[in-house]
Amino acid sequence: MRPNASEMSWEESSGADAFLSPDHRGGHPPVRESPAVTAWGVVLCVSGTAITAENAVVVTAILATPSLRAPVFLLLASLGLADLLAGVALVARFLFCLAPSDWSELVTSGLLVTSLSASLCSLMGVALDRYLSLSHALTYGSGRSRRRAAFLLLLVWVGACAMGAGPAMGWHCLDEPASCSVAPPLTRTYLSLLCGGFLAAVAVTLQLYAGICRVARRHAHAIATQRHFLPSGQSYAGKYGSGRGFSRLVLVLGVFVGCWMPFSLWGLLGDASSPPLYTYATLTPAAFSSLLNPLLYSLRNKDIRKVLLQACCPRRHAAQMHCPEDV
């Protein structure tokens, strides 16, 4: 998936592709020029590598630890895998476009669509998990809940792969440039449906977090009325009912909306004649969210942090295990 470059070459805008040579017109077969590596291409490759490495650590930590099998960890693993694929797609986009071809453009565009769709749906699943863990605290974490989470993730990935297969299955504008969207080779109809789905997922996620706040405040009020006090960190009610927890929630939502809303709106409003710079400015935050998601979701979880610290400092962890802690 790349921004439209109708009035300037892709080589100038990204360093990752090149336009057809103007000398090849009429019935002669087009020949792609060899692109030069530019600053944008280097940034694309470096950021994709960082995203891949960061999320690979998170996914490996979750899958290699048998104790991390609760629904929330399944969802975080799905989120990490989706963001890992986004990083791979960015690197592949840079490498393939050094020797550009139609098939590589379609494959990398489809992989980006798949990874970003799965990432957004996984974020929605994380919000749903947090809501259910608060509103159904007695049954949360049961085997039935894990099966529901696994089934939900199956639907997420089947849907994401189906959407990502669109360009390779013929839903592209390589043969009809007039039908291109702000991100060729995706057609405007295809991108409009995709961005419409993104906006719907954003709206559902915001509603879930609003429900989390309502339930948390109701629980906190009931606890205060009965004059019971919960230990810190033992309940989502305490977590989201406090000022600190609410500020963290605002931060998560602010990053979420800031990353996904710009491109979702621009994909609906823009067309093939729109300036490519606007597409870069809106698509970059959506890709950058894959770098922020592990910090905002996975690495904030104390169980995942414990696993990572144990892997990084096994001797220190073993010493702590043999030393009694004050209770």
| Domain boundaries along the sequence of the chain | 10-322
Question: For residue 281, what are its two tokens?
Answer: 């400015």
Confidence of residue 159 (pLDDT cuts 50, 70, 90): very high
The pLDDT of residue 130 is above 70: yes
Q: Please report the pLDDT score of residue 27 as a whole number.
A: 45
Mean pLDDT calculated for residue range 277-303: 87
pLDDT (tens digit, 9 = 90+) per residue, 308-322? 888 887 665 555 544
- The CATH code for residues 10-322 is 1.20.1070.10
User: Does pTM top 0.85 for this prediction?
Assistant: no
Inter-residue contact 92 to 44 (CB < 8 Å): no
Q: How far apart are CA 74 and CA 242, in angstroms?
A: 27
- The C-alpha R_g of the chain, in whole angstroms, comes to 23
Question: For residue 123, what are its two tokens?
Answer: 């974020």
For residue 98, give the DSSP letter: T
Inter-helix orientation angle 71-96/302-312, to 10°: 60
pLDDT (tens digit, 9 = 90+) per residue, 77-93? 999 999 999 999 989 88
34: number of CA atoms within 13 Å, CB side? 0
Inter-residue contact 188 to 178 (CB < 8 Å): no
What b/e string do you get for 177-200 counting C-beta neighbours within 10 Å, with b at 16 or more? eebbbbbbbbbbebbebbbebbbe
